[in-house]
């Protein structure tokens, strides 16, 4: 059976799987912890992991697709920079090709996840799709007229670094006011810590805006004394993070729900911008925060409809991603299938 190898390189793990042309994973996806150390140590350890993974696959592998976190020069198969990996101006695609003696396509990990959701996931059958991945940071991918849009240099789709607040919070990218600072798992944790430290969210302008847009009642009333009890317990146990806050919100905790509402409001502003710029059929929300489902997506969707111009805000569907942890591997392989159908890349 002819297969492409799909590789998803993230800040905490490396996932590898073999994928058919129709996006079906063959066997199990192999996972390795992301290597540690400096740039060269990281790459050498990564190549060893990939050689091991390749040795476990008996079927015929035609090529390799790699999705990597960071800004990617798609044509040169080079990582320009990555906020969570020790890679800068690194010819990663070329080095993987030489290590595995196979042609390699290198792309941004959010691009690959977006293509997977369009081909076999939540946006199957859609031609104009934008995806946001809400994790520690915020990634993005764009499909226009059925094809990935990469821009002039291959680095389009950095939707987490669109500006939603002038002179706002400092982002890891070095700029201020990025969507990533307000609608990510890290932001959810920060809002929860504000509630623990100060008894309520401070400067929650977007929550107020969301309330006005949705006709909600005034949210400024003093909370009850036990309002943030469970968040304080998590903080005392050093277990206060985006995941744990999300779990509390799904359990109905009022303080955690307020933290999620703040994320949802900023997300809604970001969605309105995307709807106005791209006029998509669908905006897919992936990443860890997508597990909150309509608790996060419904208020964000309502705010998008209130803020976006007609008909953009009502045309764009907002849906949770379907492929979960498989998206990166499947999408990377599908990118390879698409590229290697037309072009024979050098090993």
pLDDT digits (tens, 9 = 90+) for 15-62: 999 999 999 999 999 999 999 999 999 999 999 999 999 999 988 899
Average pLDDT of the chain, as a whole number: 90
Kindly report, residue by residue over 1-16, the tens digit of the pLDDT. Answer: 789 999 999 888 999 9
Closest among 257, 259, 274, 245 to 114, alpha carbons compared: 274
Q: How many helices (H) and strands (E) does the chain have?
A: 11, 13
Average pLDDT over residues 283-305: 95
183 versus 153: the higher-pLDDT residue is 183
Taking the model in full, what pTM does it have? 0.87
Q: Which residues contact 180 (CB under 8 A, 6 or more apart)?
A: 137, 138, 160, 161, 171, 172, 173, 186, 187
pLDDT at 207: 54
pLDDT at 117: 97
pLDDT at 325: 84
Kindly report, residue by residue over 104-120, the tens digit of the pLDDT. Answer: 999 999 999 999 999 99
Domains 2-116+325-342 and 125-321 in one fold: yes
Fold type of domain 2-116+325-342? Nucleotidyltransferase; domain 5 (3.30.420)
Fold type of domain 125-321? Nucleotidyltransferase; domain 5 (3.30.420)
In this structure, of 144-148, 159-163, 209-213, 270-274, the range with the lowest mean pLDDT score is 209-213
């Amino acid at each position: 059976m002819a297969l492409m190898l799909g590789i998803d390189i993230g800040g905490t793990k490396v996932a590898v799987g073999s994928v058919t042309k129709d996006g079906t994973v063959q066997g199990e996806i192999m996972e390795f912890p992301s290597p540690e150390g400096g740039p060269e140590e990281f790459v050498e350890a990564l190549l060893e992991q990939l050689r091991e993974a390749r040795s476990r696959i008996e079927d015929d592998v035609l090529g390799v697709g790699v999705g990597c976190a960071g800004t990617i020069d798609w044509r040169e198969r080079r990582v320009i920079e990555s906020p969570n990996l020790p890679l800068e101006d690194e010819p990663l695609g070329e080095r993987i090709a030489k290590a595995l003696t196979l042609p390699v396509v290198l792309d941004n990990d959010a691009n690959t996840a977006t293509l997977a959701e369009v081909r076999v996931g939540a946006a199957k059958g859609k031609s104009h799709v934008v995806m946001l991945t809400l994790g520690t940071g915020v990634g993005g991918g764009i499909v226009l007229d059925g094809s990935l849009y990469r821009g002039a240099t291959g680095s389009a789709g950095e939707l987490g670094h669109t500006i939603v607040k002038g002179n706002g919070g400092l982002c890891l990218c070095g700029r201020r006011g990025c969507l990533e600072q307000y609608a990510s798992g890290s932001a959810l944790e920060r809002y929860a810590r504000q509630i623990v430290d100060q008894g309520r969210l401070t400067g929650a302008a977007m929550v107020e805006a969301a309330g006005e847009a949705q006709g909600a009642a005034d949210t400024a009333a003093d909370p009850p004394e036990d309002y943030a009890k469970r968040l304080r317990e998590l903080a005392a146990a050093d277990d206060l993070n985006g995941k744990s806050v999300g779990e509390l919100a799904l359990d109905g905790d009022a303080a955690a729900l307020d933290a999620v509402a703040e994320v949802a409001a900023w997300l809604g502003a970001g969605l309105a911008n995307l709807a106005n710029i791209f006029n998509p059929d669908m905006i897919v929300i992936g990443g860890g925060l997508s597990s909150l489902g309509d608790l996060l997506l419904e208020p964000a969707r309502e705010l998008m409809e209130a803020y976006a111009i007609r008909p953009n805000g009502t045309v764009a569907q907002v849906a949770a991603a379907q492929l979960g942890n498989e998206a990166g591997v499947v999408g990377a392989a599908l990118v390879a299938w698409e590229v290697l159908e037309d072009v024979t890349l050098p090993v």
